[in-house]
Copies of this chain bind each other. A is one copy, B any other.
Amino acid sequence: MITESNLLERAAALAGLAPDTPEIVLDLDVVRANIDRAAATAHEMGVVVRPHTKTHKLPRIAHMQVEAGAVGVQVAKLGEAEVMADGGIEDILVGYPIVGEHKLARLADLAERVTISVTVDSDEVAAGISRVARERGLTIPVLIELDTGLRRLGVLPGPAAADLAERIAALPGIELAGVFSHEGHVYTQARDDGERERLTQEACRAAVDTAEVIRSRGLAAPIVSVGSAGTFRFAVRCPGVTEVRPGTYVFNDRSQIAQGAATAADLAAFVITTVVSRPTPERIVVDAGSKVLTSDRMLVPDPPASFGRVWGHNDWDVVRLSEEHGVLEVPPDAEARVGDRLAIVPNHVCPTINLASAVTVVEGGQVVGHWPVAARGRVQ
């Protein structure tokens, strides 16, 4: 049982279990608790979970998610889909516009061996998918990507999106499956839970309403898929949402805690580092730099100039990074000497995992594996 009072002790134990540093250590007991809790919430609210694998990049954790009830997984890139399919995952949503002959051929190859769906936000992208599906005798389910506030990809909700859906539904080789959105803007626009809930509900309602417009035209659009880990708890309560796609909930990080989406007890991934120098009483240098922690700031409005925080020490922050050095500002009486190990909670765990070739996995207080990050760097 994890309590606030034994967190520091757990962090020290995990730090000691890393074979060397810098190294990411995963606490599989916490991972399992995180997966089970989200699965129970979604089940209770009558929505399905399709976790985004971008956080873990590990087929074994994807299997844990599916065993807990997930309908399948989401990935961003085809290379990640290939890793998950090779790892035995049978239902994969590629939430990205597939562009170019080489990628279309890989999409068709995948669709011949597992259940693959894709997102689309333009006629051009849909035309390519339709063509390759027709050539291969496939029918590929497609979700219309909506821009519900993130201002990244996607068409704006409403009649124009329904027009696109109608044109796409008419293409051979494509089955219109519904709508898709990602409320990533809530992370950086909302400053408290009230605002988070309001923005999430607005975004989800826009997606649900657009699906209704599409259905009113006589088209099937059964799926309304929304999500992010930070908004999960609000999105599951939006009437009409059928699917939620949290990613970071599986490990959590400083940003998720700042968003109110996780507590310190839900942290499952730590960057274990060694103090390599203490040039002044106020400055510690550790062996994890931007090549381990990334240069990502926290996913909050006006993020502080901090690249990670030492677990158990709320005034020990990574205030500067070089590629191989993390520079910490600490109180002058901080007890830390050359050779000591520190567990750092990263700002954003997903790209942190992406930098690691492998992670050390701990269960029941013991190292149970050193897992290659199978989908690391699969950006194509």
Contact = CB atoms under 8 A, between A and B. Distances in A.
A285 B155 CA distance: 13
B323 A350 contact: yes
Interface stretch (A42-50, A146-154, A196-204, A256-264): A146-154
A112 to B, nearest CB: 20
Given A103-B20, A288-B379, A276 B125 contact: yes
Contact of A279 (B155, B289, B350): B155
A101 to B, nearest CB: 9
B323 A351 contact: yes
A291 B99 contact: no
Interface string A250-285: 000000000000000000000000111111000101
Given A295-B296, A351-B290, A377-B291, A99 B276 contact: yes
A287 interface: yes
A68 interface: no
Interface stretch (A168-176, A231-239, A354-362): A354-362
Interface residues of chain A: helix, strand, loop or mixed (majority): loop
Which of A20, A320, A327 has most B Cβ within 10 Å? Answer: A20
A96 B324 contact: yes
Contacts of A350: 323
Nearest to A102: B20
Contact of A325 (B21, B153, B283): B153
B357 A76 contact: no
Contact of A184 (B155, B288, B295, B322): B322
Contact of A276 (B97, B292, B351, B355): B97
Contacts of A351: 290-291, 295, 323
Contact of A291 (B278, B288, B338, B379): B379
A288 B151 CA distance: 17
A276 B96 contact: yes
A23 interface: yes
6 contacts: A122-B338, A153-B277, A289-B379, A292-B379, A295-B295, A357-B377
Contacts of A99: 274-276, 287, 338-339
Contact of A324 (B76, B292, B320, B376): B76
